[in-house]
Amino acid sequence: MNSCFPEFENGVKIFNKLYTSIYPITFLILGFFGNVLIIIVMSKRIFKNRHLPTKDPINLLYLVLAIGDFLAFPGQTIQIWIQSVWGINIYDLSVFSCRVLKKSLSYIIGDFSLWMVVFISFDRFLRVWWPTKFRDLINSKKVLIVLTILFVLALLKNVQFYYQTNLFFDPLTNTTKCLDDPNSPIYEFYRNHYDYMMSLIFVSGTPSILVLILNILMLIKLKIRRSLSAGKLNNSVRVVMVISVAFLLTLTPFFIIINVGSEFNWYCGKSVYSLLVTITLANFYMNHVINFIFYLVMSKNFRKDSLEIFKFNFRKLRGNNSVSTTD
């Protein structure tokens, strides 16, 4: 490890504590509000269009993506915030929080959410390249089948983490700690041969490459269409392409630092590496928070539907207040 100035190390520690005290709670508020709004809007659209003979499944995909985003980040960000502010590790409190919340459940939902972006990009890719056959290629029933397969695969990939961790008593502090279990029969195998490659291939590398390829192919087709004056671009394609770019920008840096950066001999060693992990991890969690901003900025219909929801709830609240005042 390279030498480092004590002032720099102390500065990194202070920055990490301030940063991890602010961004988790900010993301929790934005993520809760934004994803709940998306879930309500998309659910209303699906219910409204349920009798149409041909339905674009994009609203269903937006809905499932929002549910995945809503569930993906709270467990991890709450833990980061609580530990930064109060010094409590919630994973050390019970077997459930250790074996389920720390890795297995978070990774299952997180992987499912990541591959949802790939599937949405593939859905819009089909719409761009084969617009006349799109209704035959993709429908709600096929979408539900694919989503079920994605969830089952995410479950099978990450259920092993349930058996890799456990609570251990620490006699020095007289407390329990959630740690990797070296007595687990699959611990050494996954640690030495499986964990790194699975993360690199199925969580970071493959999804990023697929999303990048699909978006490049869509851009090529759209450029050809534009040269032929082939009509107005469907707005959902624009939205999905922006979501895909944000996906690449938020996902890639964190996994590069985790999977590759840890091998380097950084100046100031752990201090710089810790700083980069903190920043890129926050950037990674942003992927589950910012989609509703894209909908608000780019979709007039989403803004309209959101405004109607707020107006309805405001009128309902005002009506209840009037009744209580009269009583």
Average pLDDT value for the chain: 82
The string of pLDDT tens digits covering residues 178-204 is 888 887 777 766 665 556 667 777 777
Q: Which pLDDT score, from 0 to 100, does residue 40 have? A: 93
DSSP characters over 211-234: HHHHHHHHHHHHHHHHHTT--PPP
pTM of the entire structure?
0.84
* pLDDT over threshold 50, residue 210: yes
Report yes or no: 137 and 130 within 8 Å, Cβ to Cβ. Answer: yes
Could you give the residue ranges of the DSSP H alpha helices within 130-205? 134-137, 140-158, 160-164, 187-189, 195-198
- β-partners of residue 167 are 178
* pLDDT over threshold 90, residue 116: yes
Report all structural domains of the chain as residue ranges with CATH numbers, in order of start: 7-303 (1.20.1070.10)
Report yes or no: 31 and 74 within 8 Å, Cβ to Cβ. Answer: yes
Percent of the chain with pLDDT over 90: 21
* pLDDT over threshold 90, residue 131: no
Determine if residue 269 is left, alpha or beta; phi over 0 gives left, psi from -120 to 50 gives alpha, anything else beta.
Answer: left
Percent of the chain with pLDDT over 70: 82
* pLDDT over threshold 70, residue 4: no
Q: Which pLDDT score, from 0 to 100, does residue 230 have? A: 47
Report yes or no: 214 and 125 within 8 Å, Cβ to Cβ. Answer: yes
The string of pLDDT tens digits covering residues 44-75 is 988 888 776 567 788 899 999 999 999 887 77
What is the C-alpha separation between 86 and 92, in angstroms, rounded? 14
The string of pLDDT tens digits covering residues 68-97 is 999 887 777 888 888 888 888 889 988 888
Residue 208 burial (CB count, 10 A): 19
The string of pLDDT tens digits covering residues 276-289 is 888 888 888 888 88
* pLDDT over threshold 80, residue 35: yes
